[in-house]
Amino acid sequence: MKYRCGIFDLDGVLVDTAKYHYLGWKKLADRLGFSFTVQQNEALKGISRMAALDLLLEIGGLGDAFSQQEKEQMAAEKNGYYLEYINQLGEEELLLGVTETFERMRKARIRIALGSASKNARLILKRLHIEEYFDVVIDGNLVKKAKPDPEVFTMSADRLGICYSQCVVFEDSLAGLQAAKAVGMTAVGIGERENLRIADYICRNVGEFVWEQ
């Protein structure tokens, strides 16, 4: 196999939490009095909580309406809604093929890394009982620059001492695919080609990826 490491985004790749991020932002948008659609939510995927809030407010025509302190309160409000869902999260919400892929990678001695923008990543891994699979976990608490900056992926590869061309990144967001491609990692888009045009490969889930190609 040509890859020595798989770097996995979390939300929307390993677990179906992307829908809970959407519902959290939608509750905030509802309270602020504007509509927010699933298609508009595509642009919020993969980016940091504060960057997502800025985009949401722009969508609602409220780009300059709030102070930094008010924005921090709104981000915390959304995270509160999100955590209500996460606290109910169970292993049945792991996406198709995840555990089988990790088992196969372990046998083939391919390292397993998490590269997520989320500050809730550790909590989610614990709830899903998959934390033990990871050789390294890089999340939103560790990086200074959010996707599309590649820091979250380069930090994973650097900690493992693996060169970037031997890493394959699994991502459901355009920002994440841009980050992977910027440093020469293979980029696998999880989802629809329409939203993920720049991916090297498109799969419906991580189990579909053919490691030998």
Residues 6 or more apart from 175 whose CB is under 8 A from it? 45, 46, 47, 146, 147, 148
Cα angle 6, 12, 18 (rounded to 5 degrees) comes to 150
Dist. CA 19–CA 159, nearest whole Å:
31
Nearest to 112 by CA among 168, 39, 37: 168
**Is residue 19 a contact point for ligand BG6 (CB under 6 A)?**
no
Residue 26 touching ligand BG6 (CB under 6 A): no
Task: Look at the alpha carbons of 7, 114, 176, 152 in this order and tell me if their dihedral is positive or negative.
Answer: negative
Interacting span for ligand BG6 (CB under 6 A) from 27-35, 103-111, 114-122, 157-165: 114-122
In the complex, the residues that contact Mg ion under the rule CB under 5 A are 9, 11-12, 172-173
180 lies in the site for ligand BG6, by CB under 6 A: no
Instruction: Provide, rounded to whole angstroms, the least separation between the CB of residue 166 and ligand BG6.
Output: 24
The verdict on whether 200 is a catalytic residue reads no
Torsion of CA 158, 160, 166, 168, to 10 degrees: -90
136, β-bridge pairs: 113
Residue 79 binding result from Mg ion, ligand BG6, none, given CB thresholds of 5 to 8 Å by partner type: ligand BG6
Q: Which entry of Mg ion, ligand BG6, none binds 116, CB below 5 to 8 A by partner kind?
A: ligand BG6
Span of 45-53, 57-65, 162-170, 195-203 interacting with ligand BG6 by CB under 6 A? 45-53
Name the site residues for ligand BG6 (rule: CB under 6 A).
Answer: 10-11, 21, 44-49, 52, 79, 116-120, 140, 173
Annotated catalytic residues are: 9, 11
